[in-house]
């Protein structure tokens, strides 16, 4: 098997990789929901977005976010009676003002200075969340492109979503490396022919993909370690 080339571009997941999804916890509490409900809500949004995509129907993140937030509010009698759309605007607004993980900004600057082209590919919104979050951290200028599934009309981990990012970068799949803290995202990219870098932010996440699955080229505990690994390629 031929050796993999040094990737020319790095495509980053957003929620859970560059910033914590739990950044919405305070807004959940203001809505009368427990902070722990953020993970349940986020996992249900992803589940149904994936399922609809698999069934041949694309519905954007915001659609499922509003639907499942409305379900949670209805299930908690003490919760706010705000309509799902107004409530989801507050939650996504909290994400838009979130802080990146502390290890992310210096590592992104190092990667950019090292000649890597940087791109975001998110199941959320590039303009409503990715752009303000990266701008707040002072690293938006490191990124060549901010992409989302609404542009691709396909959720990650659908092959079409990764193919869209590759096409937008004008590269071949093997010249692009997907960076994510979600095993399913890295796996989807590998299946689409991209290289993969898995950042294991949570100790309870698997260190490697399950047996029988393609393995990422790089595995790190945080972005500082990832930046060191990339500098050696």
Residue partners of 155: CB distance under 8 A and separation at least 6: 49, 50, 52, 53, 58, 123, 149, 161
pLDDT score of 206: 66
pLDDT of 2 strictly over 80: no
pLDDT score of 79: 72
pLDDT of 180 strictly over 70: yes
Q: Among 40-49, 72-81, 200-209, which is the least confidently predicted range?
A: 200-209
Strands 176-180, 143-148: pairing is: unpaired
pLDDT of 81 strictly over 90: no
pLDDT score of 233: 97
Residue partners of 156: CB distance under 8 A and separation at least 6: 13, 121, 123, 149, 162, 185, 188
137-172 per-position pLDDT tens digit: 999 999 999 999 999 999 999 999 999 999 999 999
pLDDT score of 77: 78
Beta-bridge partners for 199: 220
pLDDT score of 213: 84
pLDDT score of 76: 85
Q: From the CB of residue 215, how many other CB atoms can be counted at a distance below 10 Å?
A: 14
E strands present in the chain:
9-12, 117-122, 143-148, 176-180, 195-199, 218-220
Nearest Cα to 156, choosing from 131, 129, 190?
Answer: 190
According to DSSP, residue 15 is labeled B
Report the sign of the C-alpha dihedral through residues 72, 46, 209, 19, in that order.
negative
Domains (ranges, CATH) in the chain? 9-19+99-231 (3.40.50.1000), 21-96 (1.10.150.240)
Choice between 89 and 45, residue whose per-residue pLDDT is larger: 45
């Amino acid at each position: 098997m031929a050796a993999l080339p040094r990737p020319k571009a790095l495509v980053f997941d957003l929620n859970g990789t560059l910033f914590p999804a739990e950044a919405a916890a305070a807004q959940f509490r203001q809505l009368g929901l427990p902070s722990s409900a953020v993970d349940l809500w986020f996992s249900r949004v992803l589940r149904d977005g994936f399922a609809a995509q698999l069934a041949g129907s694309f519905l954007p993140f915001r659609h499922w976010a509003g639907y499942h937030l409305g379900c949670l509010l209805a299930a908690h009698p003490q919760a706010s009676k705000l309509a799902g759309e107004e409530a989801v605007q507050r939650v996504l607004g909290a994400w838009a003002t979130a802080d990146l993980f502390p290890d992310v900004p210096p590592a992104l600057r190092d990667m950019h200075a090292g000649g890597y082209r940087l791109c975001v590919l998110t199941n959320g919104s590039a303009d409503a969340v990715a752009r303000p979050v990266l701008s707040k951290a002072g690293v938006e200028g490191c990124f060549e492109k901010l992409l989302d599934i609404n542009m691709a009309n396909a959720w990650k981990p659908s092959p079409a979503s990764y193919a869209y990012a590759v096409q937008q970068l004008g590269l071949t799949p093997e010249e692009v490396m997907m960076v994510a803290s979600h095993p399913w995202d890295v796996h989807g990219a590998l299946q689409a022919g991209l290289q993969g870098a898995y950042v294991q932010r949570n100790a309870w996440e698997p260190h490697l993909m399950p047996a029988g699955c393609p393995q990422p080229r790089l595995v790190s505990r945080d972005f500082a370690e990832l930046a060191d690994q990339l500098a050696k390629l």
